[in-house]
Structure 1
């Protein structure tokens, strides 16, 4: 159990550099006439942002139900 916790903490603390192309994306999105691509990008960002919160809430709910069921029996 201790190895799992240590591995989890180290995994959260270690970060790797990433190359992003934000300036290129912004230039493409600003130059488009209809702004349809920009709307699609914004929708995708919101979708990607919401999924982890939904998963964590679901796992938290399952843990809550499991512990409450154990207390009742």
Structure 2
């Protein structure tokens, strides 16, 4: 059951909707640009950098879960 919940959470995480990930100052500066290509690049960079903390925490949670499962089975 926990595996199903974990997989569902991962599935939802990777299928999230496109978000605007800019602070107010960045948005104000980038909205004055004509082509908006720099703004899209900044958004993509922010989203790329945001993935790694989640992956790190998922890895830590997996190893904690694995060690607790191993301890409970007595291996």
The TM-score bracket by the shorter chain reads 0.5 to 0.7
3-state DSSP of counterpart to 1:34? coil
Query: How much does 1:52 deviate?
Result: 1.0
Higher RCO (CA < 8 A, seq sep 6+): 2
RMSD: 1.9
Runs of 4+ in structure 1 off by over 2 angstroms are: 25-28
The alignment status of 1:40 with 2:44, answered yes or no, reads no
Unpaired stretches in structure 1, ≥5 consecutive residues: 1-20
Query: How much does 1:49 deviate?
Result: 1.9
Q: TM-score, normalised by structure 2?
A: 0.56
Work out which of the two has the higher radius of gyration on C-alpha atoms and give 1 or 2. Answer: 1
CA distance in 2, matches of 1:39, 1:69: 45
CA distance in 2, matches of 1:26, 1:67: 45
CA distance in 1, matches of 2:46, 2:37: 14
How many pairs align?
52
Structure having the higher helix fraction is 1
Unpaired stretches in structure 2, ≥5 consecutive residues: 1-22
CA distance in 2, matches of 1:34, 1:44: 17
